[in-house]
Structure 1
Amino acid sequence: MKENIIRDIKLASSGHRKIEWVKRNMPVLSKIEEEFIEDKPFSGKRIVMSIHLEAKTAYLAKVLKAGGAEVSITGSNPLSTQDDVAAALAEDGLHVYAWYNSTAEEYNEHLNAALDIKPHIVIDDGGDLVHLLHSTRQELVRDILGGCEETTTGVLRLRAREKAGQLLFPMISVNDAYCKYLFDNRYGTGQSVWDGIMRTTNLIVAGKTVVVIGYGWCGKGVANKAKGLGANVVVCEVDPIKAIEAYMDGYRVMPLIEAASIGDFFVTVTGCTKVLTKEHYEKMKDGAILANAGHFDVEIWKPDLDRLAVERKIMRNNIMGYVMKDGRVINLLAEGRLVNLAAGDGHPAEIMDMSFALQALSAKYINDNYNSLDKKVYDVPDEIDRKVAFMKLEGMGIKIDELTQEQDEYLKGWGE
């Protein structure tokens, strides 16, 4: 394996402080770390991670290492890696291959370097590691027991591969667990997207028209937080059921081509490609702000912006202004990449506490049960989802009721 590929090991002290801060606010993962230290479930196993390399992810990597694993880690997005956090992990003995603002070639090099560990378990965010293992790095598949996928985009890729009969090892869809999408996708994305937008633009949201494109769990969170900030929210959808839901949640619903001329902020949350394109840019008002909260930078179609613009100029850090022929300026945040990570610190630590607890326990489930798993996409087992929920309640000091035996039998029966 190659030596660590990081910017500067001297940045490690700052990274350690960030990791320690999030650890103090992630009680569920801290409890799992205690269990892993005692049980060492991953002894002799190698785990590769491609995930947004920041402090909360770093703590997950350290928890897996505490469980006995040899861990290699790289970023899942060129603009979400924090160089001081990468340095801290390298100093702690993990194999680290990532730096901020990597080129496409460097990003691919980092992914391959991380895979050189010859992993037994894969933890992916978006599906790039799994893609390499099914294409140019198939020689490594013989050692793979299985893995976990963090986000919607990666799960879509996995299910498409499974449907085609081409999935080479079992994967658990962490994204589809209740304790993930109900909290991470909704509350985490909702808060962190607006953290990133407001930090980057320094503009008020109240009174503005916010166009949220996609009303899945992430879109629900983005729309809800925008409403809370005082915005007038428009939702654009292709799913009729989600469109009705958005309408009944109190938002205006209309086609994107109509919303294009009235929006002040546009946030794409679809997981699809070419969502905002030439026909929309031509209708947008001067000063419109575009932000993407989907995994890949294909939702806001940049080639059309480049073709329409007569000039590109940096307006502020992480804001590129595209000057149109008529003088209008359309502002793109964070190169159209995940705005909450490329222009912010990602989801709050308390939210990722649940998501990364699911990752850790799902990886353990793969390790314990791989012999009985087929080459398919599995949901997170219900007992893991509920364990994380109960641990989270305990961490927050909240107690809840329990069914009596009579109530439990009543709910399971049909007689009364």
Structure 2
Amino acid sequence: MSDVADASLAYAGVRRIEWADRSMPVLAQIRERFAAERPLDGLRIAACMHVTTETANLIRTLQAGGARVALAASNPLSTQDDTAAALAHEYGAEVYARAGTDREGYYRHIHQALEIDPDLVLDDGCDLVNILHTERTDLLDTVRAGCEQTTTGVIRLHQMAREGALRFPVVAVNDTDTKHMFDNRYGTGQSTLDGIIRATNTLLAGKTVVIAGFGYCGRGLAERARGMGARVVVTEIDPVKALDATLQGFEVRPMAEAARRGDVFITVTGNRDVIDGVHLAMMKDGAILANSGHFDVEIDVRALEELAVTVHRGVRPQADEYVLADGRRLVLLAEGRLVNLAAAEGHPAAVMDMSFADQALTCAWLAEAHATLAAGVHDVPQEIDTEVARLKLASMSVEIDVLTPEQDDYLRSWRLGS
């Protein structure tokens, strides 16, 4: 039923999954609740997500709720083969994922995951939803609803909805506060720098780090790079975000100017060709190029290949060196794919605890609410976001104040003045 690289890795995968589970107390509580209440009983869920230990604990939670789950990888370089083996051979999921598979294998795996005729879909970048609407339209009538985990995927879904192409409701889990405020900011901020440091062993202190995009991911990166002693330059197209970066003390410049100055470049925009051939031609010797946007289109790798006269593959793990005609060397990390998952282990489990708690509770809500939702992009109900935050605070032994009845009345009334 599954397609994984090596079944003998399953035991090692179980150990790593259980290690991650220690830092995911909210999801563990939801798993216990699901096992008792079975809110997903009989449902088939197809997922296209990063096959990591944290995702494995989400899959276990959905299974505890009664779901049959088929999982395909959303990025070949992020797949952990031991995790895939454990899910397939120890936890009873259907898994289609091999680290480093080619483009043909990537899409074949998504098609295989869809063979369960899903009732619900979970996506990480909108590729699975895209295939449903282009190549597997025969399954659209059976899909009740879905969830999307990434900024890039939500952008694509909104475009589908605007064009009237989206055939079922999809909940933008990415847009919940307990996802984008923490996963995107703290998770991406830490894990991206972790991947860059592992791949290059560079010292960030004293370096000029150019960050393309100042959404939640860019903010987290800028904060952490500055905390490690880097000079941070931000590039943006959004005046409000550029102003935000400026008032936080970051230098804001167009990429055409930043390209000449940067030592390390990190793209987190969700768009293509953010660093193009013109920018690459300006960069200084030894510049490091990394991407933490979902797809490998933010850095124009084809232009880099055309500029290079020599390419040294694997100068370090997940680092390729491109030598230009004048002898300058540019170092591309993780082939321009997600550096935090290809060169490191992705977000810490403690922050994915919230994101995947959002996913699990939203799936349970959709099991009942899907019939009331029109085709299109929907928000996660506020009560789910609040519940996840409450459970996370409790797991950290953090207490907060509670409104008195008088305070509650005051907030609810417009008649009371000063």
TM-score by length of 2: 0.98
The alignment covers a number of residue pairs equal to: 414
Paired with 1:162 and 1:74, the residues of 2 have a C-alpha distance of 24
Q: Shift in Å at residue 233 of structure 1? A: 0.3
Matching residue of 1:62: 60
Matching residue of 1:172: 171
Paired with 2:387 and 2:200, the residues of 1 have a C-alpha distance of 40
Paired with 1:154 and 1:242, the residues of 2 have a C-alpha distance of 20
Q: Shift in Å at residue 412 of structure 1? A: 1.8
Paired with 1:13 and 1:200, the residues of 2 have a C-alpha distance of 27
Matching residue of 2:45: 47
Indicate the SS of the match to 1:134. helix
Q: Shift in Å at residue 370 of structure 1? A: 1.2
- The code of the aligned residue for 1:189 comes to T
Q: Is the 8 A contact 2:210 2:234 kept in 1?
A: yes
Counterparts of 1:198-277 in structure 2, within 5 Å, are 198-277=197-276
Q: Shift in Å at residue 301 of structure 1? A: 0.5
Counterparts of 1:180-191 in structure 2, within 5 Å, are 180-191=179-190
- The code of the aligned residue for 2:271 comes to C
Q: Shift in Å at residue 93 of structure 1? A: 1.0
Q: Shift in Å at residue 51 of structure 1? A: 0.5
Paired with 1:307 and 1:380, the residues of 2 have a C-alpha distance of 44
Matching residue of 2:93: 94
- The code of the aligned residue for 1:409 comes to D
TM-score by length of 1: 0.99
Counterparts of 1:357-372 in structure 2, within 5 Å, are 357-372=357-372
Indicate the SS of the match to 1:234. strand
Query: 1:68-99 CA distances to partner (integer Å, 9 max, x unpaired)?
Result: 10110011011000000000000121101000
Paired with 1:377 and 1:414, the residues of 2 have a C-alpha distance of 33
Matching residue of 2:373: 373
- The code of the aligned residue for 1:21 comes to W
- The code of the aligned residue for 1:329 comes to R
Paired with 1:242 and 1:44, the residues of 2 have a C-alpha distance of 45
Counterparts of 1:35-184 in structure 2, within 5 Å, are 35-91=33-89, 92-184=91-183
- The code of the aligned residue for 1:183 comes to F
Mean Cα deviation higher: 310-319 or 296-305 = 310-319
Note if 1:393 corresponds to 2:393: yes
Query: 1:182-225 CA distances to partner (integer Å, 9 max, x unpaired)?
Result: 10010010000001111111111000000000000000001111
Matching residue of 1:335: 335
Indicate the SS of the match to 2:135. coil
Paired with 1:197 and 1:413, the residues of 2 have a C-alpha distance of 52
Paired with 2:254 and 2:100, the residues of 1 have a C-alpha distance of 35
Paired with 2:170 and 2:146, the residues of 1 have a C-alpha distance of 5
Indicate the SS of the match to 1:34. helix
Paired with 1:149 and 1:327, the residues of 2 have a C-alpha distance of 44
Paired with 1:237 and 1:44, the residues of 2 have a C-alpha distance of 46
Question: 5+ residue gaps in structure 2?
Answer: none
Matching residue of 2:7: 9
Q: Shift in Å at residue 405 of structure 1? A: 1.1
- The code of the aligned residue for 2:408 comes to D
Q: Is the 8 A contact 2:56 2:83 kept in 1?
A: yes
Superposed structure 1 runs of 4+ greater than 6 Å apart: none
Q: Is the 8 A contact 2:178 2:354 kept in 1?
A: yes
Paired with 1:62 and 1:148, the residues of 2 have a C-alpha distance of 17
Q: Is the 8 A contact 2:208 2:231 kept in 1?
A: yes
Paired with 1:372 and 1:168, the residues of 2 have a C-alpha distance of 14
Query: 1:119-151 CA distances to partner (integer Å, 9 max, x unpaired)?
Result: 000000000100011011011111111010000
- The code of the aligned residue for 1:163 comes to R
Indicate the SS of the match to 2:117. coil
Q: Shift in Å at residue 338 of structure 1? A: 0.5
Indicate the SS of the match to 1:367. helix
Matching residue of 2:191: 192
Paired with 2:378 and 2:280, the residues of 1 have a C-alpha distance of 40
Matching residue of 1:281: 280
Paired with 2:52 and 2:245, the residues of 1 have a C-alpha distance of 33
Q: Shift in Å at residue 413 of structure 1? A: 1.4
Indicate the SS of the match to 1:72. strand
Matching residue of 1:302: 301
Indicate the SS of the match to 1:65. helix
Paired with 2:238 and 2:43, the residues of 1 have a C-alpha distance of 43
Q: Shift in Å at residue 381 of structure 1? A: 0.3
Indicate the SS of the match to 1:143. coil
Q: Shift in Å at residue 258 of structure 1? A: 0.5
Q: Shift in Å at residue 60 of structure 1? A: 0.3
Note if 1:311 corresponds to 2:310: yes
Fraction of identical pairs, as percent? 52
Indicate the SS of the match to 2:290. strand
Q: Shift in Å at residue 411 of structure 1? A: 1.3
Note if 1:352 corresponds to 2:359: no
- The code of the aligned residue for 2:105 comes to E
Paired with 1:211 and 1:205, the residues of 2 have a C-alpha distance of 12
Note if 1:384 corresponds to 2:384: yes
Indicate the SS of the match to 1:403. coil
Q: Shift in Å at residue 323 of structure 1? A: 0.5
Matching residue of 2:23: 25
Indicate the SS of the match to 2:219. helix
Paired with 2:278 and 2:370, the residues of 1 have a C-alpha distance of 49
Q: Shift in Å at residue 328 of structure 1? A: 0.4
Q: Is the 8 A contact 2:212 2:236 kept in 1?
A: yes
Question: 5+ residue gaps in structure 1?
Answer: none
